[in-house]
Amino acid sequence: MLELYGHVVASRLLLGTARYPSPAILAEAVHASKTDIVTVSLRREMAGSRAGGAFFELIRTLGVRVLPNTAGCHTVAEAVLTAKMAREVFATDWIKLEVIGNHDTLQPDVFALVEAARILSGEGFKVFPYTTDDLVVAEHLMEAGCQVLMPWCAPIGSAMGPVNLPALRSMRAHFPDVPLIVDAGIGRPSHAAIVMELGYDAVLLNTAVAGAADPAAMAAAFTGAIEAGHIAFRAGMLEPRDMAVPSTPVIGKAVFS
List contacts with ligand DXP (CB under 6 A): 16, 18, 39, 69, 71, 130, 156-157, 183-186, 204-208
Q: How far is CA 51 from CA 36, 44, 45, 48, in A?
A: 25, 9, 6, 6
Look up 126 and say whether it is catalytic. no
Nearer to ligand DXP, 72 or 247 (CB): 72
Are 200 and 180 spatial neighbours (Cβ–Cβ below 8 Å)?
yes
Q: Is 101 annotated as a binding residue?
A: no
Residue at shortest CB range from ligand DXP: 16
Q: State CA 152 to chain mean position distance.
A: 8
Nearest approach in angstroms of CB 106 to ligand DXP is 8
| R_g over Cα of the chain | 20
Task: Choose among 218, 171, 195: nearest CA to 35.
Answer: 218
Q: Which of 34, 96, 126, 253 is catalytic?
A: 96
Nearest approach in angstroms of CB 72 to ligand DXP is 9
Nearest approach in angstroms of CB 90 to ligand DXP is 15
Within 13 Å and on the Cβ side, how many CA atoms surround 220?
7
Q: Is 206 annotated as a binding residue?
A: yes
Instruction: In whole angstroms, give the CA distance from residue 45 to residue 53.
Output: 9
Q: Is 184 annotated as a binding residue?
A: yes
Q: Specify binding-site residues for 1-deoxy-D-xylulose 5-phosphate.
A: 157, 184-185, 206-207
User: Which residues are catalytically annotated?
Assistant: 96
Q: Specify binding-site residues.
A: 157, 184-185, 206-207
